[in-house]
Chains A and B, each alone.
Chain A
Amino acid sequence: MSGPGPGTALGVTGMSVSYGNLVAVHDATFSIGAGESVAIVGPNGNGKSSLLMGIVGLARRRGEVTIFGSPAPAGDVMWTARRGLTLVPERRQLYPNLSAADNVVLGCYSWTRSARKARRSDAYGRALDLFPDLRSHLRQAAGTLSGGQQQMVAIARGLAADPKILAVDEPCLGLAEAVSKRVYEALARVHEAGTTLIVVEEAPKRALLICDRRVEVRNGVVRAPAGGARP
């Protein structure tokens, strides 16, 4: 087992996430090394998304989360984003009436308040370069794009935050096979470029093609099979 050490990108110790009386994640402990790519797998409704929501600070949690060794204050999404952990959430959560370009550029909000700086940044440029198909749709309202294009916008928005750890929740939900493949190819490239990658998937087959190892979530209980920080 890899304990929270210097090479640990994300460390989770004894974390529970609950909504009212419902405990979604119970006492989760695992860690992810810098540069790893990890698939979080398990049936739907078993707490995979809640795990991510708790880690980034969008759901109430107990226990400790560290990002590159620093303990994350609970409920502070901004802190998490600034430290380099960005979530591409389930169902994408785009701004439907804003253009695709505006959706992506808002990803830069975690590190700048200047629209000019954001548009000229490497992170923004790289995020768009990853999805050449989006180029011709940048002025279109995000809500009018196809499901696959919306997913690409969501990932691009996540990348515009210049993350060191990118967590993607169900990237292929409701997408056609060919589109899913393109999304995964893009995620593989993100990982190759050095970003630590976390992918939540109900169907682990595809995720495990690009991921080094898996973390299983069943009934809110997390099991991270031994395998070391890096394979």
Chain B
Amino acid sequence: MMKFGNLVVAGIVTGSIYAVFAVCVAVWYRVSNILNLAVGDFAMTGALGVDYLSRVENWPLPLSILATLAAVAAFGYCYDRVVLSLAQDRLRRHEGIVVTFFFTFALSFFIEGIAQILFGTNVHAAPALWPGNSLNLGGGLNIVRAGILVLACAVISGGMFALYIRYTLSGKAIEASGENYLGARIVGIDTRRYRRSIFVITALLAAIFGIVESPITGYTYISGAVISLTGFIAAAYGGFRHPARALVAGLAIGVLEALLGGYVSAEYGDTVMYAILAALVLARPRAMGFESAVSN
């Protein structure tokens, strides 16, 4: 029973990361109709960037974090301004979506290449922001301190976003852009500006989560792809357009992964999990939200 509880706690921690990445993918998809496959690479950049600056260059930790986040934001902004604008704004909308999708894929490889040169191929992690042993939750349940930070970040960022969508006009404008592109343009919503700001914000959010979470798992230059993939799958279960469903799916995948790893096989846990996920999609595509991704 204790084992089960601990696995669930660990699963919720990893799941909340998947959830956040799934929400990032889903939100940007809502605005731009494009799937961002590079979101995990921003997390890796955050974690390894902070590690590099603080460990190799001996910068103080807060400065390393700020510098890394500033670099990620600046890069995301320039990437959208130059590459995504070229790829999308000059083309017809449908062509643009397909082309841009591949550009985010290319971006992922590009970031990995740079990261390999800058950070090497070893496993690193940003310094723990809240160092110390795991906390005892009572009854034999333990949670790593970084896990609490991850959960806190997930709740804060998710909550802020939900409030933003619900109570502000620009939040509703984001929803409107996703609902009806032409209808959004007609009332004067600058859909490109929203695409850009959400791209930068999700990149920043991903970097922050990478920094906070990396002490738990450790990152290498290719960790981003796995994170993107899992976030992407969770987002797919939410039909790509529903951040709330993507969030639940992310949490569920995290817990499932932890339980399979603990009870079935540490080595083949992931394989079994992907098999289960694939089976679910094949059995109930509509209930899993895949329908809406295609028909919209």
Task: Give A contacts to B, CB under 8 Å.
Answer: 56, 58, 77-78, 81-82, 87, 89, 92-98, 102, 105-110, 112-115, 118, 157, 161
Provided the pairs A78-B188, A82-B188 are in contact, do residues A108 and B169 lie with their beta carbons within 8 angstroms?
yes
Evaluate contact between B175 and A109: CB separation under 8 angstroms. Answer: no
Which chain A residues lie closer than 8 Å to B180 at the CB level?
A: 93-96
Interface residue ranges of B170-188 to A (CB < 8 Å): 170, 172-173, 175-176, 179-180, 182-188
Evaluate contact between B182 and A107: CB separation under 8 angstroms. Answer: no
Between-chain CB contacts (< 8 Å), 20 pairs: A58-B185, A58-B186, A78-B188, A78-B190, A82-B188, A89-B186, A93-B182, A93-B186, A95-B175, A96-B180, A97-B175, A98-B172, A98-B175, A106-B176, A109-B169, A109-B187, A113-B168, A114-B168, A115-B169, A115-B172
Say whether chain B's binding surface is mostly helix, strand, loop, or mixed. Answer: helix
Evaluate contact between B176 and A81: CB separation under 8 angstroms. Answer: no
Could you tell me the distance in whole angstroms from the C-beta of B97 to the nearest C-beta in chain A?
A: 18
Most buried by B among A95, A108, A161: A95
Interface residue ranges of B145-197 to A (CB < 8 Å): 167-170, 172-173, 175-176, 179-180, 182-190
Which chain B residues lie closer than 8 Å to A93 at the CB level?
A: 180, 182-183, 186
Most buried by A among B167, B183, B187: B187
Evaluate contact between B173 and A109: CB separation under 8 angstroms. Answer: yes
Nearest-neighbor residue (CB-CB) of A94 within chain B: B183
Which chain A residues lie closer than 8 Å to B190 at the CB level?
A: 78
Evaluate contact between B169 and A106: CB separation under 8 angstroms. Answer: yes
Could you tell me the distance in whole angstroms from the C-beta of A205 to the nearest C-beta in chain B?
A: 27
Provided the pairs A77-B188, A78-B188, A115-B167 are in contact, do residues A106 and B172 lie with their beta carbons within 8 angstroms?
yes
Which chain B residues lie closer than 8 Å to A106 at the CB level?
A: 169, 172-173, 176, 187, 189
Provided the pairs A102-B172, A106-B172, A113-B169 are in contact, do residues A89 and B187 lie with their beta carbons within 8 angstroms?
no
Provided the pairs A58-B182, A96-B179 are in contact, do residues A81 and B187 lie with their beta carbons within 8 angstroms?
yes
Which chain A residues lie closer than 8 Å to B189 at the CB level?
A: 106, 109
